[in-house]
Structure 1
Amino acid sequence: MTGSGGRPTATRFLELVLDPGSWSRWDEPCTALPEAADYRADLLAARERTGLDESVITGEGRIRGRRVALVACEFGFLGGSIGVAAGGRLVTAVERATRERLPLLATPASGGTRMQEGTIAFLQMVKVAAAITDHKAAGLPYLVHLRHPTTGGVLASWGSLGHVTSAEPGALVGFLGPRVHQALYGEEFPPGVQTSENLHAHGLVDAVLPAGSLGAVAATALDVLTGEQRPTPDPEAAPAPPAPAPVSEALPPPDTADSLRRSRRPERPGLRDLLRHAGDVTALSGTGAGERDPGLLLALARFGPTPCVVVGHDRGATAGPPAAGPGPLGAAPLGPAGLREARRGMRIASELGLPLLTVIDTAGAALSKEAEEGGLAAEIARSLADLVTLAAPTLCLILGQGAGGAALALLPADRVLAARHAWLSPLPPEGASVILHRTTDRAAELAERQGIGAPALLAQGIADAIVPEHPDAADDPGAFLTGLATLLGAELATLRSLGAEARRTARRERYRRLGEV
């Protein structure tokens, strides 16, 4: 069955996403008819044409065996518009999903508010958004898949509240429909703006997916978002790869200048490489509010038995021409949008009670007019405040370079690990040398004196343990990352087992006492 433009109807769409034979409707029949003759005729014609009694269908099914609640719009029914009956049906379904503690997948395809019902229909968006907010506040995942077209009040309410949001390829997605824009302003809306692909490029949706791919992607995301801890492997089964035991620097401490050099090697593995050694990875894209920063990577993942949200610097990203200075050539500096993207990850972790893993590997924050006007300093402050008070368990990995506020913004955590050649500094050592000595020539000397290397971080209580490199992660990245992924899984599982209030209190006290004798 196909709807507008040859795209699948709502019913067919659900059949493509759900396990065969698992769909079950929740809806009570809508039998009431409006008084206005023309609206009544349109409504009856829509029922005859689609075989549905309203523009929304709700129910439950299974996605790769997992029970999930679903709400879907049928665009063929009066443009998928939402009136009082459809709004009530949506709220009833969302509230049932909340009571039964089911994850919720919404698949809107709608022109927005039903104009025949006027302002009272417009206000349905408030109660639907409130029901979705209650569902998320109960710690339950909410996924959205935007179908063609999704506009108006539907996009401006329950279509934009997902923990994870995908969209149909080539779908029209926008607030003001192009036909309305042309009628009101006498000109066509700029082409290519209100498309799934453009919204993905601007950090408003996480992925562009055909219906046939949504089930597998949703299943992977829900495996993490539901927060289920997998059983510990059977000890009689094949043993897992050994994790590098965190050490209190049993090896001779590395030379700081040597660590600086090693941390900047192009071959050194970064966060993107680490995620290849994780499971159930779902990459997210942008802030969800129109910004996307190539210097920040946000994902859902599982290390060992433990699901988590991952937020970190992407050393492999590039933005424009190679950057000058001591960082890896071409690495994208972190700007305010990247920190807003990081804070999105923090919110997901907090709302769903998932552990948060932050990964530090940056040559520094963006230094530009745009970064200053975009509120870089304020975003660093907000990131610090969010991390220090976050309800979720937090683990920080200093993987490589840790320069300035861009690094500090991801540091505060219940537990901090540092790779042997990682470091953390108020500025790149070359910059600090310029401030104190008006030359970059004394960078190595100053780095040693400042205590930026992993052994000094351990001694000062900034790091809790050092992850060995033998002798350098860049020389054998596969072995290093395999062991590191196993270690992270164990650390995350331990943190998750601790009481939330005790964990938060200990975190606050940890940073309050830093530097005290």
Structure 2
Amino acid sequence: MSAAYGRDLSRAAARSGRDESIRTGAGRVAGHRVAVVASEYDFLGGSVGRAATRRATAAIERATAEKRVLLALPASGGTRIQEGTPAFLQMLTISAAIAGHRAASLPYLVYLRHPTTGGVLASWASLGHVTFAEPGALVGFLGPRVVEALTGAALARDAQSPRALRRAGVVDAVVAPVDLREAVQRVLRVVAVDRGPTTAESDTGAQPAGVELVERGEPDQTGDPWASVLATRAPDRPGLRAFLAASTSDLTLLGASELGQGPDVPGTPMVTALALLRGIPCVVIGQDREAQRHQPIGVRALHAAQHAVQRAADLRLPIVTVIDTPGAELSEEAERSGLAAAIAHCLAALLSTPVPTVSVLLGQGAGGAALALLPADAVVAAEDAWLAPLPPEGASTIMHRTVDHAAEMARELRITADDLYRLGAVDVVVARGPAGVGTTAGFAGLAGAVAHCLAGVAVRDAATRLAARRDRHRRLSS
């Protein structure tokens, strides 16, 4: 250590009242056992060298051994320049400890404080299962002064803001320090390892309470598939937002997801979230019919869904997908961005994930955007929901070179929930009932059926579940 560096350390200790830039501890948040690794920015700008790394790594490994939730609160300029490249390599050491914690399926939460930059952000500060950020914080790869010095150009004022990173899906929520405790508690009620056994509101061996199932038998000759198509397209038909309101609690949106709030905030077409569904912790991946009026499902939305599948697998949480889409984005940009490949990778992720999965066919199910969320251990369908390779108008165009035969094609394509039940693609069809499935009140019964199916598939071990999932889809061709 140089004499100058020694003087820097002494001054930093006197100024901050700390002996290093990392502080660690353990405690409880709402009864959940939590370990904490926090930066001390007043100590050399929170920069991380070898001593700080040893302290952080020991705390992370101890949290893993004790099966604690890990909460990181970085505020750092990055690597400690006084120690050079050896300090830079410490980002690998801390990240390896985080990787071990995540490999044990233990939750890792991050709160990005002002400022968080450099090697810290490019390593362990960006590896959280859920990432919050402080409003107004500077969060970026390099500080703006360094960027301008190296490139000769200044960054836009908001390029390194939490809200910009939220729009990019890097930050899950912007949370004021006063609200952080509540935000962490909400997440822990879903992901915490000591949350106790997972239970549903109904026994797995019986029909869920309050759910009216469609009677099976011969096809319903009186039902009109085209009428179902029109019903699911009605402008006032409730969708994902009503389903979530009726069935979930402790909802935490993930990535860039937004639930719309009026015409000025239409929301995102694909919503991913942590939630309790009838008391069952899960990751929800759903298509918002209202948001799709403004923005169809494209590559970015499908990537968000695939990322949510990975988060669920990391945390060993069940997945509930909700299908309600008029179809994917049709544009030159979507084609150039690889829309078809994004659909394929999304459905492949659901086919191969080891966690329990239940899909909900809520309304429209047009084309690849619907297929991307369909693979599951069990599928629940609203009675008037439907699934087709493309909208009936598209099928009519292929067969008749006009959209005028759309109603006829809807009747010929076997698109209804009852058709899908007989094909073996749907397990439970929930009847409309007095209120109707396509109403907010009607979603309570649908939620009960989903919880019932979740409880049923969760009792299997992962290997048995994957084998049954493969057999399920193989039978579709028999």
For residues 216 and 75 of structure 1, the distance between their equivalents in structure 2, rounded to whole angstroms, comes to 24
Which residue identity is paired with 2:78? G
- Within 5 Å, which residues of 2 pair with 1:400-419? 400-419=363-382
Give the counterpart of 1:371 among 334, 343, 352: 334
Query: In the TM superposition, what is the alpha-carbon distance from 1:419 to its structure 2 partner?
Result: 0.5
- Within 5 Å, which residues of 2 pair with 1:14-33? none
Query: In the TM superposition, what is the alpha-carbon distance from 1:248 to its structure 2 partner?
Result: 4.3
Query: In the TM superposition, what is the alpha-carbon distance from 1:471 to its structure 2 partner?
Result: 5.9
Cα displacement string for residues 64-104 of structure 1 (whole angstroms, at most 9, x for unaligned residues): 12111111101111000000011111111111111001111
For residues 300 and 9 of structure 2, the distance between their equivalents in structure 1, rounded to whole angstroms, comes to 45
- Which residue pairs with 1:509 in the alignment? 471
Query: In the TM superposition, what is the alpha-carbon distance from 1:455 to its structure 2 partner?
Result: 0.9
Query: CA contact under 8 A between 1:248 and 1:458: conserved in structure 2?
Result: no
- Which residue pairs with 1:283 in the alignment? 253
- Which residue pairs with 1:317 in the alignment? 291
Give the counterpart of 1:490 among 441, 452, 457: 452
Query: In the TM superposition, what is the alpha-carbon distance from 1:448 to its structure 2 partner?
Result: 1.1
For residues 273 and 44 of structure 1, the distance between their equivalents in structure 2, rounded to whole angstroms, comes to 58
For residues 405 and 234 of structure 1, the distance between their equivalents in structure 2, rounded to whole angstroms, comes to 33
Query: CA contact under 8 A between 1:262 and 1:472: conserved in structure 2?
Result: no
Q: Are 1:192 and 2:158 matched, yes or no?
A: yes
For residues 70 and 418 of structure 2, the distance between their equivalents in structure 1, rounded to whole angstroms, comes to 47
For residues 256 and 108 of structure 2, the distance between their equivalents in structure 1, rounded to whole angstroms, comes to 17
Give the counterpart of 1:101 among 44, 61, 67: 67
Per the normalisation by structure 1, the TM-score is 0.86
Cα displacement string for residues 464-486 of structure 1 (whole angstroms, at most 9, x for unaligned residues): 110111367476x2321222223
For residues 234 and 258 of structure 1, the distance between their equivalents in structure 2, rounded to whole angstroms, comes to 33
* Deviating 4+ runs (over 6 angstroms): 232-235
- Which residue pairs with 1:264 in the alignment? 233
Query: In the TM superposition, what is the alpha-carbon distance from 1:411 to its structure 2 partner?
Result: 0.5
Q: Check 1:510–1:298 CA distance in 2 against 1; reply closer, same or farther (3 A cut).
A: same
Cα displacement string for residues 34-84 of structure 1 (whole angstroms, at most 9, x for unaligned residues): x31111111111111111110010111211121111111011110000000
Query: CA contact under 8 A between 1:317 and 1:331: conserved in structure 2?
Result: yes
CA RMSD of superposed structures (Å): 2.1
Query: CA contact under 8 A between 1:206 and 1:284: conserved in structure 2?
Result: yes
- 3-state SS of 2:14 partner: helix
Query: In the TM superposition, what is the alpha-carbon distance from 1:383 to its structure 2 partner?
Result: 1.3
Which residue identity is paired with 2:210? A
- Within 5 Å, which residues of 2 pair with 1:370-409? 370-409=333-372
Query: CA contact under 8 A between 1:339 and 1:379: conserved in structure 2?
Result: yes
Q: Percent identity?
A: 50
For residues 168 and 157 of structure 2, the distance between their equivalents in structure 1, rounded to whole angstroms, comes to 15
Give the counterpart of 1:57 among 19, 23, 26: 23
Query: In the TM superposition, what is the alpha-carbon distance from 1:126 to its structure 2 partner?
Result: 0.6
Query: In the TM superposition, what is the alpha-carbon distance from 1:286 to its structure 2 partner?
Result: 3.1
- Which residue pairs with 2:242 in the alignment? 273
For residues 390 and 493 of structure 1, the distance between their equivalents in structure 2, rounded to whole angstroms, comes to 17
Cα displacement string for residues 331-359 of structure 1 (whole angstroms, at most 9, x for unaligned residues): 53110111110011100111111110011
Which residue identity is paired with 2:468? A
- Which residue pairs with 1:175 in the alignment? 141
For residues 305 and 200 of structure 2, the distance between their equivalents in structure 1, rounded to whole angstroms, comes to 30
- 3-state SS of 2:110 partner: strand
- Which residue pairs with 2:443 in the alignment? 481
Query: CA contact under 8 A between 1:359 and 1:396: conserved in structure 2?
Result: yes
For residues 401 and 433 of structure 2, the distance between their equivalents in structure 1, rounded to whole angstroms, comes to 36
- Which residue pairs with 2:214 in the alignment? 247
Which residue identity is paired with 2:461? G
- 3-state SS of 1:70 partner: strand
Query: In the TM superposition, what is the alpha-carbon distance from 1:188 to its structure 2 partner?
Result: 2.2
- Within 5 Å, which residues of 2 pair with 1:55-454? 55-226=21-192, 228=195, 229=197, 242-249=209-216, 252=220, 254-277=223-246, 278-286=248-256, 294-318=268-292, 330-454=293-417
Q: Check 1:47–1:82 CA distance in 2 against 1; reply closer, same or farther (3 A cut).
A: same
- Which residue pairs with 1:455 in the alignment? 418
- 3-state SS of 1:300 partner: strand
Q: Are 1:43 and 2:9 matched, yes or no?
A: yes
- Which residue pairs with 2:260 in the alignment? none
For residues 200 and 243 of structure 2, the distance between their equivalents in structure 1, rounded to whole angstroms, comes to 21
Query: CA contact under 8 A between 2:437 and 2:443: conserved in structure 1?
Result: no
Cα displacement string for residues 229-272 of structure 1 (whole angstroms, at most 9, x for unaligned residues): 4566799xxxxx94323334479563101101111112222112
For residues 232 and 420 of structure 1, the distance between their equivalents in structure 2, rounded to whole angstroms, comes to 23
Residue range with higher mean Cα deviation, 241-250 or 375-384: 241-250
For residues 64 and 437 of structure 1, the distance between their equivalents in structure 2, rounded to whole angstroms, comes to 62
- 3-state SS of 1:338 partner: helix
For residues 426 and 69 of structure 2, the distance between their equivalents in structure 1, rounded to whole angstroms, comes to 37
- 3-state SS of 1:276 partner: helix
Query: In the TM superposition, what is the alpha-carbon distance from 1:187 to its structure 2 partner?
Result: 3.3
Q: Check 1:331–1:423 CA distance in 2 against 1; reply closer, same or farther (3 A cut).
A: farther
Per the normalisation by structure 2, the TM-score is 0.92
For residues 368 and 153 of structure 2, the distance between their equivalents in structure 1, rounded to whole angstroms, comes to 45
Query: CA contact under 8 A between 1:299 and 1:311: conserved in structure 2?
Result: yes
Which residue identity is paired with 1:280? D
Query: In the TM superposition, what is the alpha-carbon distance from 1:204 to its structure 2 partner?
Result: 1.5
List gaps (5 residues or longer) in structure 2. Answer: 258-266
Which residue identity is paired with 1:308? C
For residues 208 and 461 of structure 1, the distance between their equivalents in structure 2, rounded to whole angstroms, comes to 43
Which residue identity is paired with 1:268? R
Cα displacement string for residues 379-428 of structure 1 (whole angstroms, at most 9, x for unaligned residues): 11111211111100010000000000000011011001110010000000
Cα displacement string for residues 449-507 of structure 1 (whole angstroms, at most 9, x for unaligned residues): 110011101111111110111367476x2321222223222221221112221111010
For residues 233 and 203 of structure 1, the distance between their equivalents in structure 2, rounded to whole angstroms, comes to 33
- 3-state SS of 1:165 partner: strand
For residues 149 and 200 of structure 2, the distance between their equivalents in structure 1, rounded to whole angstroms, comes to 61
For residues 180 and 257 of structure 1, the distance between their equivalents in structure 2, rounded to whole angstroms, comes to 61
Query: CA contact under 8 A between 1:389 and 1:508: conserved in structure 2?
Result: no
Q: Check 1:189–1:332 CA distance in 2 against 1; reply closer, same or farther (3 A cut).
A: closer
Which residue identity is paired with 1:314? D
